[in-house]
Structure 1
Amino acid sequence: MTESSNADFIEQHAAPGRIGLCGGTDPINKLIRKAQAPLTADGHRSLWSHAFLFSERRRDGQWWVIESDLDVRFRQVRLGVQENRASRYFDAEAFPNLAILDFHLDEGQTQKVQVAALDLLSGLASYSLRELAGTLLAMHSTRLRMRDNLLAREGALYCSAMVQHCYAAAGIQFLPGVHGKNVAPHDIDESPLPHASHRLIRDLGISKVRRALRAITP
């Protein structure tokens, strides 16, 4: 799907408890996408660099998300679980790839996911670059992925580990056998569990575009 704006896409598919994925274009996002190459079917960079949860539509008419992120702005740094308007993902140049995943949660499961996310938010859980590095190391070994994150920290979660933590409260493991703090954004999208995946893709990567062109060229 490429014809929709990011704002229209989010408006159409957002719902409480659903998962958002994005693929960013800044250097850090590109690095995270490239680092997930061992997880992709073709061995090239992933479409995704970040994962977050949709919370609810507020009185301001905006969808809000809960996420664990490193947010650096002028004279302000936020590191950890935070709440933001989904409008931060409206910029198509900064976020050419978006997905919203629906794991068909019932009302009770949705509440458990949201409560778990709010608990992390109120507890000021931090973002862990160290744990992220441990996850990147584990991607090269099935054995390591099944073990505790080698660089785990108490009270800290990076983006997709936060999403897995919240879904675990509803009894859902995206990749059975893979430790929650070794789950990457690409893993959530590729989960074998039944789910609907709504996608807005503009940046496949040069290698994928070349292969697609070869496939349709006589």
Structure 2
Amino acid sequence: MPQIIHEPAVHLEVEQLSVTIKRKKILDHLSLSLVSPNIYGIVGPNGTGKSVLLKTLLGFIRPSAGSVKMNGVRVDPRHDLPVSVGVIIEHPGFIGDLNGHDNLMALGNIRSQLSDADIRAIMEKVGLSDDRKAVADYSLGMIQRLGIAQAIMEDQQLILLDEPTNALDREGVAFLTDLLRELRDQGKLVVVASHDFMWLQLLADQIFELTGGQLNQLEAGQPL
């Protein structure tokens, strides 16, 4: 029997994290420990700091206090992340006059890890198998699906998604739910920020409410 090689676990550790922007404290001594394989939901209305938190986890925003570590290595914008990360934060950006396939191929060529067949397979996986249309002519839902494809196409270990159901219809939300569960079952660590608490209740293994700069864990079935 061939030996099964398990992907290393991902551990994302946040210690006493604070972020202040324009003299306003967005995150206030926040601590959190997330491990794979799990789906974690972060819920809160727009403006509570969900996007700021995800950007800080990636090193896009420098904290005013505290630290973020991935697998024990402190996140530093001057260095590559120690874990492969797929991300959607705010609106996915693509080259409008290229089709979806060519946009993904251009991104994949940066690391030379993906073949044409790989790109076509991921396009089909997210429901965008017809790649002839320029992205400028995509609907908002199609652009969101393309963003999801970009976030998972290199078998990333850590997936961070900010409001991923935006512009998706009911069928798209069902597809995304199944996809994220599949990624979790493959051993990934998935973190989803959303204002849609009911969807997160169906999806996530644990849910945290971001309020007052702090994350409070919610029990299953607990209302906001």
TM bracket, shorter-chain basis: under 0.3
Give the structure with the larger strand fraction.
2
Larger relative contact order (Cα-Cα within 8 Å, sequence gap ≥ 6): 2
Give the structure with the larger helix fraction.
1
Tell which structure's C-alpha radius of gyration is larger: 2
TM-score for the superposition, normalised by structure 2: 0.27
